[in-house]
Structures are given as structure tokens and as C-alpha cells.
Amino acid sequence: GTAPAIIHAQEVIRWRLASSFPKALDTIYGAAEDFANAINQMSGGKFEVQVFAGGELVPAFGVLDAVQQGTIELAHTAPYYFFGKNEAFAFDCAVPFGLNSRMLTAWMYDGGGNQLMNEFYAKYNIVSLPMGNTGTQMGGWYRKEIKSVDDIKGLKIRISGFAGRVLTKLGGVPQSIPGGEIYQALEKGTIDATEWVGPYDDLKLGFYKVAPHYYYPGWWEGGAQLTLYINKEKFAALPKEYQEMIRAAASHAHVTMQAKYDARNPQALKQLIANGAQVHRFPKDVMDAAFKARNEVYAELNDTNPDWKKIYTEFEKFLRDQYAWFRLADLSFDQYMASVKL
Amino acid sequence: GTAPAIIHAQEVIRWRLASSFPKALDTIYGAAEDFANAINQMSGGKFEVQVFAGGELVPAFGVLDAVQQGTIELAHTAPYYFFGKNEAFAFDCAVPFGLNSRMLTAWMYDGGGNQLMNEFYAKYNIVSLPMGNTGTQMGGWYRKEIKSVDDIKGLKIRISGFAGRVLTKLGGVPQSIPGGEIYQALEKGTIDATEWVGPYDDLKLGFYKVAPHYYYPGWWEGGAQLTLYINKEKFAALPKEYQEMIRAAASHAHVTMQAKYDARNPQALKQLIANGAQVHRFPKDVMDAAFKARNEVYAELNDTNPDWKKIYTEFEKFLRDQYAWFRLADLSFDQYMASVKL
């Protein structure tokens, strides 16, 4: 007879990955494809991962429940979508005035971050791995210029949950509108502003035509991570070889996604400017007021959410140390390079 | 009889990876170990990669020849070591006032950089993949303060080849000294300064005791990449599954190495300062003189080295676009975070 290990190697394992994103967001959606391709090729087709866009298998925001229940094995999502369930999800994606892309990756891979998140995810029956980052996002599109923090008062801005909670303290009025309806709402003046991602994704949606003032930085997303969710029991039951393929393929997609944004944003920015976008830096009083509000929100969460407090305590210590170091070599190098004629 | 594919899956392939680095540089050397572990685990031990420290199998700087000739299958090195053979190797590692870590990764993975390098490497019978980055390095340890560019004149500094060529234009006197002999040379005053890596590695060598002035940024290494060399014919003969494992495992080690430096540098910096290191930013006139000298050296290389010119032309275009974008969201976010009390 044939040895068991050989029978096993001939079985095909088929897993389904639900992305929270549409195919049109090709860099983010593409990370799930890069992951699946790597797995399929490394296993010679014996471990087959099929990717579905947001809504194809389960609703975009239903992927957490679906992986938790084991309806699907894998999901690729932005964990801050689940901020309403528990604010601590946001540490696995982005928190206002948080870590930048490299720092968040460092925290995840070598600073204890991924371990802390997985302790939290255990109650959702999920194992998580970092899988992509956008880098610092832009602050979005505004119909009128923002000249001081007073211009935030009453401003109706389409923005995600966590940033919205901070912005409310400045008098802003956060709006929740599906991606496909933003343009029309901006055009009609139903909203005054919207945030999206950065030049590469923003160019496609054409916001510059109806809200030409393009602000930076997106202080609520200094480095927004996308995350791979894996059903915990199904992961534990996988052969070790395939578990390790998942880890390596997730790292591979983590690199390729950030690389695509970084390589493609510059051309898109040029195109946006050629199309009439007016690029501005947020006034310092807006940044200062938002940073103060961020600290107030965090203090409130420390009082009300023990999951948040446990992770926050480690996160903020890491953050403090990161900027104390990063400001030297990395920041001074980047500042110099940005200051000279290249 | 047993099917060929099954016989094949039972064969064990054994490859040797020669690192150019000692085990004491645990973050850099560790990238080769992370790579090998991933391959060994993903293949269930059927594709076995064994790692050797610099000098164990071949001399640290002999790894290029060894992979080219097929004496070994794999190497992990800093390609600018081979600057003396051809200056174009440096694009696969670091050039003075070049791309930072994220930008270099973007160029490699999505900007055509890895493809350009592999066209160049074809004549060395090598396939290369990015495998690690240090981030922006520190500018090194100086016995006396550098108050202006005049203090560079006559300064004997232990520094790598490319940076040395730029520094010579400022009147500096580059020295080539093996890692193990630097401390004594600094102590005796045979040299006035040395560059090494950053806080995590520098702490171990104790330079702060004999040359306490610690400068930033290392403008010659804005993001120094380490690279995996693969013998081209042996790579082509591998099963597709194993080729893909090499790609994914290299990406995994690429992420883990940068993450380790980023996560560990802050504590080492604190320790160095507690031990008496005096941290300074290079004066602006030093940066400006070095940047001018960089441009002169590049112009000379464009005239003398067609390999350099071909890659440089693409590299510099990418660099220019990168900083035009990066200065907005990413740089302004980092600057703000470095300016507030966290």
C-alpha cells in the first residue's frame, strides 16, 4: 500500500478567502491575489486558495463573522471596520496619530503586536497576520479650503468611525456613506468633504472635480494595515507545511501591497495636480486640536474598554520609543532629501 | 509502480547559503536563518537550506564568485561590497543620498528595480531578490565634534567604498579596516572616525567609549538593502514550487529584518546615550557638500560605466518622483509625530 504521508500529499485542500474590498481597489484587493497565487504555486496546486471580492460570498463587513463561524476559512480586511464591536480592533489597522507603516510592521513582527492582537482575536476564533499597508494616507477632499480649526466646525465629512469620534470633538460631523455614493453627495453638497486613501485610489473616483482641495496628512491613518484573518481551528488542523506557507505568503503580500502604493502614488499625484487638485497641508492648529482630541478619546477608552487599555498600554510605549529613534536617522534623511533639488 | 511526481516529492534537495555576515550581527545574519527556516518548514524538510556565517564556507566577500561558479547555491550579502568590480552593484544595496528603505523596496518590487538588477546580474549567472534592509543608518562615531565641512578635511574615517569616493571630494581620507579591528584603531587614534550600522549593532562594539560623538544621518545609506543571490542555472532547474518558496521566503525575511532593526534600535539608542554617547545631526554644510560631491561622482560614473548609467537613469527618475510624493503625507505625518510630546 501507499504510505499515509503520500496519500495526504495528493489530497487537494480548497480554501476560500473573502476580501472586504472591490476589485477596483486593485492594490488592496491585489494583496489577497498575491497571497493566493503564492500559496497555489508553492503547494503545486495542492493547497488552493480562491479569492472573492467584497460582497461576492459575504458582505464586505461580514467577513469577521464568517471567519469566526468557519463559513469561510480566510478573509482580508481593514480591522478598524469592526471598531463598533470593540475599539481594540483598530490597533490591527490604524489609530489616529499612531505608528507609521514601518513602525506598525515592526510592532507586529518583532514588538509583540501580532501576539497581543492574537490574544484578543482568540475570543473571535481567529488567527491574524499583517497583510499589506497603505502608508500614510491623504487627509481627503474638501469643497472649501480649511484655513483654521474653526473651519472644521459643522463640516460634514465622510470618514471612518474612529477618526469620526476624534473629529466630533473639533465640531466636525462625521458621515457614513458607501464608496459608490460619495461622489454624488460631494457634488450635491450633501457632504462638504470626504477622505479616501491616497493619490492612486483617489484618482479613479474623480473627487478633484467637485472638491478640489486635497489635504495632507491623514492623521487618522499614519500607516493603515490590512490584515489576514484565518479561522483558528481550521488553521490548527492544517499540515505544518501549509501553516508556514500561509505565514510566508502573507509576508510576501504585505511587502507587495505597500510597494505598489509607494511606486504608483507619485504618478497619480502628478495626474491629480494636472487635473486641478489643489494640494494643501493641514494648518497646525487643526493638527494640534486633533492630537489633543485623540488623547482625550484614548483616555476615555482606557476607562471603558479593558481590551483597548491592555493593548494601548503596550502600543503607546512602543510608539513613544519609535519616534524618539525614528526622528534621528530616518526622519532627518527624508527631510534632507525632500529639501534638495533632485 | 509509484508515479514520478511522488518519487520526486520524496527526494531531498540540499542547498547551502553563505552569508557575508558574522552571527554576531544577529539581525542581518538572522534574515538568512529566517529564510532557511521558512523554506525548510514549507517543504516539510524536502528542500533543505543550510546557512553558513561569513568565512565558514567561503570568505565574506567571496560569496559572489562562489554563487556565480555554482560552488554554493545561495548567498546573502550587501551588494555594494562588489562596488570595486562594478559600481552598478550598489543600486542593489545603497548609493549615497539614494532611496530610503520603503522606496527601495517599492522600486524593487513594483518599480522595475529588481528586473533591471537581474538583467545586470545575468552576466554573473545570478538571480537576485531583496532580502532585508537596515533602514537609514547612523553616520558613525567620531573622536571629535564635526562643526563644519572643514572638520572633514584630513579626517581618517573607516567607511565603505562608495561613500569613501564621495567623502574624498570633501577632503576625507577613507580607510578600509575589518570590523574586528576598528575599536583598537579608534582607541589608538590610527583613525578618527568609523561608520557601522545603527544603535542596535553599534552598541555591541562599544565605539562610544573611544569616539563618543554619534552623528546622523548616514547619508550614504538611506536604506541599505541586503540581497539574496541564487545561482541562475540551479534556480531554473528547481521545481516551480521551490522557486516560489524562495520568492516568498525572501519576502518574509525582507520584512522580518527591517522589523527587527526598527523594533530594537530605540532601546539600544537609550542605552548608548546612558553610556555617554553624544548624538548630533550633521551640520547642513556637511550635508550640502556631500550631496554636491554625490552628484559629481554620479556624473563621472555616467561617463565611464554604461551599466551604471543604464540603471542610474531609471533609479534617479524613480527617486525624484518618490520624494515629490513622500514629502506630503508620509513626511509631514512623521514630522508632526516627532514634534509632539507622546
Query: Per-block average pLDDT, block size 10, for chain A (342 residues)?
Result: 45 96 96 98 98 96 98 97 97 98 98 98 98 98 98 96 96 92 96 97 96 98 98 98 98 98 98 98 98 98 98 98 98 98 95
The whole-number pLDDT of residue A180 equals 86
Cα B184 to chain center, whole Å?
25
- 3 state DSSP class of A255: helix
User: Could B219 and A333 be called an inter-chain contact, meaning their C-beta atoms sit closer than 8 Å?
Assistant: yes
Q: How far is A59 from chain B (nearest CA, A)?
A: 30
Residues of A in contact with B10 (CB under 8 A): 6
- Is A45 an 8 Å CB contact of chain B? no
Q: How far is residue A132 from each of residues A47, A101, A127, A225, A230, measured CA to CA in Å?
A: 22, 9, 16, 6, 15
Residue type for position A196? W
Q: How far is residue A275 from each of residues A199, A203, A268, A281, B49, measured CA to CA in Å?
A: 12, 10, 10, 19, 52
- Are A137 and A259 a contacting pair, CB within 8 Å? no
Q: How far is B331 from chain A (nearest CA, A)?
A: 7
* pLDDT one-digit tens code per residue, B63-111: 999 999 999 999 999 999 999 999 999 999 999 999 999 999 999 999 9
In this structure, the strands spanning A140-142 and A193-194 are: antiparallel
User: Could B252 and A256 be called an inter-chain contact, meaning their C-beta atoms sit closer than 8 Å?
Assistant: no
- Are B203 and B55 a contacting pair, CB within 8 Å? no
CA angle A299, A305, A311 (to 5 degrees): 80
- Is A11 an 8 Å CB contact of chain B? no
The answer for residues whose C-beta is within 8 angstroms of residue A258's C-beta and 6 or more apart is: A101, A132, A133, A134, A135, B102, B105, B106
Return d(Cα A17, Cα A57) in angstroms, integer: 9
User: What residue spans define the domains of chain B?
Assistant: 4-133+222-264
Cβ-in-10-Å burial (0-12, 13-18, 19+) of A235 comes to middle
Q: Does residue B260 surpass a pLDDT of 50?
A: yes
- Is A213 an 8 Å CB contact of chain B? no
DSSP string, A145-157: ---SGGGGTT-EE
ipTM over 0.95: yes
Q: Which of A103, A266, A270 sits opposite B262 (nearest CB)?
A: A103
Phi-psi region at B69: left, alpha or beta (left = phi > 0; alpha = psi -120 to 50): alpha
Residues of B in contact with A271 (CB under 8 A): none
B 66-125 residues with CB < 8 A to A: 97, 100-103, 105-111
pLDDT confidence bin for B17, thresholds 50/70/90: very high
The whole-number pLDDT of residue B4 equals 39
Cα A336 to chain center, whole Å?
28
Q: What is the mean pLDDT of residues B218-232?
A: 98
Return d(Cα A290, Cα A96) in angstroms, integer: 9
In this structure, the strands spanning B173-175 and B278-281 are: unpaired
Residues of B in contact with A137 (CB under 8 A): 329
Residues of A in contact with B138 (CB under 8 A): 328-329
- Residues, chain B, total? 342
Residues of A in contact with B336 (CB under 8 A): 97, 217, 219, 287, 291
Residue type for position A131? M
Q: Which of B43, B198, B332 sits opposite A217 (nearest CB)?
A: B332
Closest to A332 (Cα-Cα) out of B271, B290, B222: B222
Instruction: To the nearest 10°, report the CA torsion of A217, A221, A223, A224.
Output: -140
Which overall architecture, per CATH, does domain A4-133+222-264 show?
3-Layer(aba) Sandwich (3.40)
CA angle B254, B255, B256 (to 5 degrees): 100
Say which DSSP state A144 is in: S
The answer for residues whose C-beta is within 8 angstroms of residue A269's C-beta and 6 or more apart is: A199, A279, B324, B325, B328
pLDDT confidence bin for B10, thresholds 50/70/90: low
Q: What is the mean pLDDT of residues B314-323?
A: 98
Q: Which of B254, B261, B326 sits opposite A255 (nearest CB)?
A: B254
A 317-336 residues with CB < 8 A to B: 318-336
User: Could B217 and A263 be called an inter-chain contact, meaning their C-beta atoms sit closer than 8 Å?
Assistant: no
Check residues B161 and B21 and name the one with the higher pLDDT.
B21
The answer for residues whose C-beta is within 8 angstroms of residue A183's C-beta and 6 or more apart is: A205, A206, A207, A210
For an interface test with B, the pick among A213, A269, A336 (most B C-beta atoms closer than 10 Å) comes out as: A336
Return d(Cα B48, Cα A276) in angstroms, integer: 56
Return d(Cα B11, Cα B159) in angstroms, integer: 46
Give the Cβ contact number of residue B219 at 10 Å.
26
The residue of chain A with its CA nearest to that of B98 is A337
Q: Starting at the earlier edge strand, list the strands of the sheet with B278-281.
A: B173-175, B156-158, B193-194, B140-142, B213-216, B278-281
Q: How far is A202 from chain B (nearest CA, A)?
A: 14
User: Could A217 and B325 be called an inter-chain contact, meaning their C-beta atoms sit closer than 8 Å?
Assistant: no
B 124-183 residues with CB < 8 A to A: 135-139
- Are A208 and A277 a contacting pair, CB within 8 Å? yes
Residues of A in contact with B332 (CB under 8 A): 216-217, 281
Kindly give the residue spans of alpha helices, DSSP state H, lying in chain A. 4-10, 26-42, 63-69, 101-110, 113-121, 161-168, 182-188, 199-205, 232-237, 240-274, 284-304, 306-326, 329-339
Residue B142, strand partner residues: B193, B213
The residue of chain A with its CA nearest to that of B40 is A241
User: Could A333 and B267 be called an inter-chain contact, meaning their C-beta atoms sit closer than 8 Å?
Assistant: no
Chain A with chain B: Cβ pairs closer than 8 A: 267
Q: How far is B36 from chain A (nearest CA, A)?
A: 12
User: Could A247 and B249 be called an inter-chain contact, meaning their C-beta atoms sit closer than 8 Å?
Assistant: no
Sign of CA pseudo-dihedral B119, B120, B125, B128? negative
Q: Does residue B3 surpass a pLDDT of 50?
A: no
Label each residue of chain B as H, E or C. CCCHHHHHHHCCEEEEEEECCCCCCHHHHHHHHHHHHHHHHHCCCCEEEEEECCCCCCCHHHHHHHHHHCCCCEEEECHHHHCCCCHHHHHHCCCCCCCCHHHHHHHHHHCCHHHHHHHHHHHHCEEEEEEEECCCCCCEEECCCCCCHHHHCCCEEECCHHHHHHHHCCCCEEECCCHHHHHHHHHHCCCCEECCCCHHHHHHHCHHHCCCEEEECCCCCCCCEEEEEEEHHHHHHCCHHHHHHHHHHHHHHHHHHHHHHHHHHHHHHHHHHHCCCEEEECCHHHHHHHHHHHHHHHHHHHHHCHHHHHHHHHHHHHHHHHHHHHCCHHHHHHHHHHHCCC
The whole-number pLDDT of residue B9 equals 54
- 3 state DSSP class of A266: helix
- 3 state DSSP class of A140: strand
